[in-house]
Structure 1
């Protein structure tokens, strides 16, 4: 989830406490030290110093990022791959113009060390752009609570404790299935309306249609509100929210992780990001205030278990409730729609797996009008296996980030307390070393058979963590899974999904998003 003259107040040290500036220093090469020869084990005092971790100097990093450099115009995943080939499984990204210096590792044993030592209140590096916006520019909304993404320590713990019962307990999340299913059924009708009547191919703007579905779904959970986005005459205010959310994610990532002077001057991209975040905040607050007005008109006796997340949290803390609702609308669009895109694409490319899944779905949805319920949604193991396999092959995040809460040792190097560590899982998830036939879409690897554990269980337990790990796991995990599974079940009950174009390409901005048009073909199936 996360300038101008006054920005200088925000230029704080984000380097680790013993890392000296390295702008013109010589980069450390992986082969300059024989890690296998040392016998330091896990003893911090005798491990190699942090300063000797391989990686490019800030000057080299900048040179490579400029036109003509080997990293120019490449997304973060490609840049990481380049440096991993050069420096090995553990290397350091340098700080540049006040950006974050962090260590990147591609060893699951390191992931385990980081996660197992994160303590009571896990910390991860804050998004300075988001912090600046929320604390300096919009304290009217975020003054008391700035959201889960950036806060740390007890403040984070108190916020998370307040929202967990509503957001993370299965019993409290599954009650929204009928409402989410109603949205999914409307999206099926929308596909009938917008696909080509002859070829049955989706229009070029189908990605936008998926984004509208995602916002419609999260709004019905967060606010018990239908935004009526799934028709031709939808409210353009909501469309502005979708675009602003996408722009905010993209721009924050560029400003945080790529060379930028935004900490010293108000750059054009920084201004664009502020404008986008203002749209997100203002439009979200308008929608939330309208929902609250509707709640106020409800009779007390009409309240029940499926009241919205906002209603439930308002009873705890109105300020916290509003911020959580904003973040659900902000963070629940592109993340969910991109994950759904990946799953639909893999099912379209693997029609035999799609057919197995369809047969499972039809056992609980014998007709196209059959309803999804809390009870029958429990009986879709192959659907859940397909979602897991999609998240393995096409993860929408490149990895996980934590700030170490104590001194640790990774691959023979000292990692001091307060170091930001990025754990690159996406490449490992498609490595035959951990998942045999890793390039193949095999949902069966997630299913146990005849009492034999699922084959995927043999992989290192800290490689496949699509929603994170521990107390700081994604707070919207259960809602996202439920939305995606509901829509995919509805689509496959109504259509055979096909792909008749070159392989779909993706890129990493802050998320894995499709580059090409989503020209799926949706062919009707009989009842």
Structure 2
């Protein structure tokens, strides 16, 4: 059989995948043709287990390097594909560095894509003594169980019409955040304390809670904070810190309950108890409201989830809180840094927002949000310059050939798309913050600044919310949260940052803020 060129193979794969029928005979023939001539899996270049183990020890080439820095070294040494052998029970992982491979993985992932890295949550839920999660593992699961639950939640969280349900409560949280900034900043310098990240996390936590639990928890009020809300917030932080250690580093927690897993498990127990309490409270509140007013023409997200099942609503609330706080906080911090670093673009954004809402006291409507193109471009460019996650993880959904090597179905894959977001060959002037590059969708973005987006840039590079069936289920919530937060901040404050801001984020698997966030918020005069 003749071997297809990479472009021919990609074109054929994309066309066939568009039919969404990977079992078609032509698809099978395509895979067989490539598979016959591809190199065996064992020949994929990469470090040996000893090199990897030694490299992370003191004096080794990976010692004290962050994940993205380690992967850049691998790319330089091994090219567009490398095999990272598993250590201490961890699976081996194939790391991919080019967009053609990303696309092929997504096009062949099948009906129920398998996302790697959620093992700590799954282990906890599988081993919980009361077997609460036995028939409802949640969105961290895989296979048919995941497909069933995702099908139930999509009509609630992924539909544009439900955005109207989030708008009013999330605006209330945003107003609380603006008031909170005024209360905690230095009255003379107008600078925020170094732990301002905690306030940003409270903002994102409250925003998710208004959706998932149909309740404002009061963390931004400053006084009379409910103790259970503070405890819930703290447990989310513990979960995220230990999640990386358990999910990304070698660990024996599945066999022996390590100190980190004990902290993780206790936090999960308390998260479950608190979410269950809030869901039960919401049921009582919803029933009372229904008795008083039968004319209400909309249902909250929690009400819609409860129509599926009470257990389902509780698990979804937990999953939204676990997945929606840290990542959105990173995105908000990135927005603030870009506002502060570029006063001209900050002013341009402010003028657009004020053209729709000249009064900072007026709330946004959905029509207002639809007519703010520079706002959306600003957010897109910020998440390119400061991405939230380092990579996207999958298990190969079929036997597939990547970079000329055979990749068996089920192989763990890591697609390092964030390493391409600052590539000058893809995004001209990539180190610069230029929202204008997103204002039009032409093949070539041309204007007074020259080409801002190269022709035929792959749509599989910039995917901050993932792709396909496993697209982030909270995307609509996060989009609205970022748009409201950014709009309300620029119409209330002039934002500055006078401190050094080199390397503002560190990379675990997600990017997390790494510097004191002493932003200066000066009130605007109208």
1:253-292 equivalent positions in 2, closer than 5 A: 253-292=244-283
Indicate the SS of the match to 1:147. Answer: coil
TM-score normalised by length of structure 1 = 0.88
1:76-115 equivalent positions in 2, closer than 5 A: 76-115=67-106
Please give the per-residue CA displacement for 1:326-367, whole angstroms capped at 9, x wherever unaligned. Answer: 111222211111111111111111111111100000011111
Indicate the SS of the match to 1:409. Answer: strand
| 1:370 alignment partner in structure 2 | 362
1:181 pairs with 2:181: no
Q: Is the 8 A contact 1:403 1:421 kept in 2?
A: yes
Let me know the Cα RMSD of the aligned residues: 2.1
| 2:183 alignment partner in structure 1 | 193
TM-score normalised by length of structure 2 = 0.88
| 2:143 alignment partner in structure 1 | 153
1:417 pairs with 2:409: yes
1:392 pairs with 2:391: no
Change (3 A) 1:41 1:353: farther
In the TM superposition, residue 255 of structure 1 has moved relative to its aligned partner by 1.9
| 1:357 alignment partner in structure 2 | 349
Indicate the SS of the match to 1:282. Answer: helix
In the TM superposition, residue 523 of structure 1 has moved relative to its aligned partner by 0.8
1:170 pairs with 2:160: yes
Distance in 2 of aligned mates of 1:522 and 1:296 = 42
Q: Which runs of 5+ in 2 are unaligned?
A: 1-30, 447-451
Change (3 A) 1:349 1:141: farther
In the TM superposition, residue 46 of structure 1 has moved relative to its aligned partner by 1.4
Indicate the SS of the match to 1:142. Answer: coil
Please give the per-residue CA displacement for 1:172-227, whole angstroms capped at 9, x wherever unaligned. Answer: 12332122111111111111111111100011221111111111111112222111
Distance in 1 of aligned mates of 2:220 and 2:188 = 22
Distance in 1 of aligned mates of 2:156 and 2:206 = 19
Distance in 1 of aligned mates of 2:437 and 2:463 = 16
Q: Is the 8 A contact 1:389 1:443 kept in 2?
A: yes
2:197 maps to which of 190, 207, 216: 207
| 1:9 alignment partner in structure 2 | none
In the TM superposition, residue 128 of structure 1 has moved relative to its aligned partner by 2.1
Change (3 A) 1:243 1:166: same
Change (3 A) 1:86 1:303: farther
Q: Is the 8 A contact 1:284 1:329 kept in 2?
A: no
Indicate the SS of the match to 2:181. Answer: helix
In the TM superposition, residue 457 of structure 1 has moved relative to its aligned partner by 7.3
Distance in 1 of aligned mates of 2:426 and 2:441 = 20
Please give the per-residue CA displacement for 1:229-288, whole angstroms capped at 9, x wherever unaligned. Answer: 112222233223223222222322222222223233222222222222223222222222
Distance in 1 of aligned mates of 2:420 and 2:303 = 41
Change (3 A) 1:325 1:120: same
How many residue pairs get matched? Answer: 487
Indicate the SS of the match to 1:288. Answer: helix
1:518 pairs with 2:520: no
Distance in 2 of aligned mates of 1:72 and 1:450 = 44
Q: Is the 8 A contact 2:390 2:417 kept in 1?
A: yes
Q: Which runs of 5+ in 1 are unaligned?
A: 1-39
